[in-house]
Structure 1
Amino acid sequence: MEEVQEGASAPSVHGHNIKVTEVVIDGDTLTFLIVSQKLSGTGEYHVYRIYEDLEWLQHHLFSQEDVPGIQGVIFPPIPAKPQVNASAKVMKQLGFLGLGEWQPYCKALESFLRQVASHSVLKKSKAVEIFLTSADPPGRQRVRKNIFNRLSQAVGEMRKEGHKDVDEFFQAARDQNLIITGCTKSATERFLDVVLTEQKIAVACGHFSAALHLCVEAGEDPDKQAFSSICVKLSEVFESIKKNMMSTAENNVSTLGLGLDLESRYQEAEKEMLFRRTCKLAELETARRNAEKAKPVKKAAMEEVKKAAETEFNHICGVAKQEIARYEAARVQMLQQALVQWCEKQLLTARESADQFDQCLQGFRGMA
Structure 2
Amino acid sequence: MMEEVHEVKSALSVHGHNIKVTEVLKDGDALTFLIVSKKLSGTGEYHVDRTCDDFEWLQQHLFSQEDVPGIQGVIFPPLPTKAQVNASAKVMKQLGFLGLGEWQPYCKALETFLRQVASHGILNKNKAVEIFLTSSDPPGRQRAKKNIFNRLSQAVEEMRKEGHKDVDEFFQTKRDHNLALTGYTKSAAERFLDVVLTEQKIAVACGHFSAALHLCVEAEDPDKQAFSRICVKLSEVFDSMKKNMMSVAENNMNTLGLGLDLESRYQEAEKEMLFRRTCKLVELETARKNAEKAKPVKKAAMEEVKKAAETEFDHICGVAKQEIARFEGARVEMLQQAMVQWCEKQLLTAKESADQFNQHLQAFRGMA
* TM-score, normalised via structure 1 length: 0.98
- Does the aligned pair in 1 maintain the 2:252–2:342 contact within 8 Å? yes
SS at match of 1:102: helix
Which residue in 2 is equivalent to 1:184? 185
Which moved further from structure 2: 151-160 or 253-262?
151-160
1:337 alignment partner AA: Q
2:346 aligned with 1:342: no
SS at match of 2:138: coil
After the TM superposition, which residues 28-67 of structure 1 pair with which residues of structure 2 at under 5 Å, given as runs? Answer: 28-67=29-68
Which residue in 1 is equivalent to 2:241? 241
Q: 1:6-26: per-residue Cα shift (whole Å, max 9, x none)?
A: 211210000100000010000
SS at match of 2:80: coil
After the TM superposition, which residues 199-210 of structure 1 pair with which residues of structure 2 at under 5 Å, given as runs? Answer: 199-210=200-211
2:177 alignment partner AA: Q
1:325 alignment partner AA: A
SS at match of 2:48: strand
SS at match of 1:214: helix
- Does the aligned pair in 2 maintain the 1:188–1:260 contact within 8 Å? yes
What's the CA shift for 1:147? 4.8
SS at match of 2:216: coil
Which moved further from structure 2: 171-180 or 82-91?
82-91
Q: 1:263-305: per-residue Cα shift (whole Å, max 9, x none)?
A: 0000000000000000000000000000000011111110010
What's the CA shift for 1:143? 2.9
What's the CA shift for 1:68? 0.4
* Overall identity of the aligned pairs, in %: 85
- Does the aligned pair in 1 maintain the 2:64–2:146 contact within 8 Å? no
Q: 1:227-257: per-residue Cα shift (whole Å, max 9, x none)?
A: 1101100000000000000000000011000
Which residue in 2 is equivalent to 1:360? 360
What's the CA shift for 1:153? 4.8
Which residue in 2 is equivalent to 1:91? 92
CA distance in 1, matches of 2:206, 2:103: 24
CA distance in 1, matches of 2:252, 2:7: 41
- Does the aligned pair in 2 maintain the 1:152–1:272 contact within 8 Å? no
Q: 1:310-348: per-residue Cα shift (whole Å, max 9, x none)?
A: 000000000000000000000000000000000000000
After the TM superposition, which residues 131-150 of structure 1 pair with which residues of structure 2 at under 5 Å, given as runs? Answer: 131-150=132-151
**Any unmatched runs of 5+ in structure 1?**
none
How many matched pairs? Answer: 367
CA distance change for structure 1 residues 280 and 186 in 2, over 3 Å: closer, same or farther?
same
- Does the aligned pair in 1 maintain the 2:29–2:85 contact within 8 Å? yes
CA distance in 1, matches of 2:173, 2:219: 74
Which residue in 2 is equivalent to 1:24? 25
CA distance change for structure 1 residues 153 and 97 in 2, over 3 Å: closer, same or farther?
farther
Which residue in 2 is equivalent to 1:252? 252
- Does the aligned pair in 1 maintain the 2:4–2:141 contact within 8 Å? no
CA distance in 1, matches of 2:178, 2:172: 10
What's the CA shift for 1:152? 4.7
1:109 alignment partner AA: L
**Any unmatched runs of 5+ in structure 2?**
none
Which residue in 2 is equivalent to 1:172? 173
CA distance change for structure 1 residues 153 and 29 in 2, over 3 Å: closer, same or farther?
farther
What's the CA shift for 1:66? 1.3
CA distance in 1, matches of 2:86, 2:182: 30
CA distance in 2, matches of 1:279, 1:36: 38
Q: 1:57-91: per-residue Cα shift (whole Å, max 9, x none)?
A: 00110111111000000000000011111121111
CA distance in 2, matches of 1:256, 1:235: 31
CA distance in 1, matches of 2:121, 2:260: 24
Which moved further from structure 2: 331-340 or 212-221?
212-221
SS at match of 1:68: coil
- Does the aligned pair in 1 maintain the 2:60–2:142 contact within 8 Å? no
* TM-score, normalised via structure 2 length: 0.98
- Does the aligned pair in 1 maintain the 2:164–2:278 contact within 8 Å? yes
Which residue in 1 is equivalent to 2:216? 215
CA distance in 1, matches of 2:355, 2:345: 16
Which moved further from structure 2: 155-164 or 261-270?
155-164
CA distance in 2, matches of 1:96, 1:218: 44
- Does the aligned pair in 2 maintain the 1:59–1:143 contact within 8 Å? no
CA distance in 2, matches of 1:41, 1:359: 52
1:237 alignment partner AA: V
- Does the aligned pair in 2 maintain the 1:155–1:272 contact within 8 Å? no
